[in-house]
Amino acid sequence: MDSALEIARILLPIVLVGGIVVFVVMRMKSKYTRGTLGKKKSKGAQSLLDSLIPFGMILGGIVAILLSIIFSTSLLSTISLGSAIGLLFG
């Protein structure tokens, strides 16, 4: 029973991150096919829009590192979950 719990603790962040990534990619694909994916007229505004997803992932990773320092959680799973949440909000 103890090993099953340990396997679940290892696989849970991977499954959560995978689900978030698939959701974001499918949402962007549907927006692209409908033609409602964000396209800006000025080059600077388009550059800002294109950089929001990576910026959200970096910010999510930073927040995850800070939370991992405060609470006693695994750093690797916390960084992956933080980056996935940043991808979702970016």
Cα distance between residue 49 and residue 46, in whole Å: 5
- Structural domain for 11, as ranges: 2-89
pLDDT at 76: 78
Which bin fits 35, alpha (ψ -120 to 50), beta or left (φ > 0)?
A: left
pLDDT at 25: 86
pLDDT at 29: 86
28-85 pLDDT tens trace: 888 888 877 777 777 777 777 778 888 888 888 898 888 888 988 777 788 888 888 8
Domain total in the chain: 1
Q: Is the dihedral of CA 12, 14, 17, 22 positive or negative?
A: negative
pLDDT at 50: 75
C-alpha Rg value of the chain to the nearest Å: 16
What's the mean pLDDT in 3-24?
Answer: 87
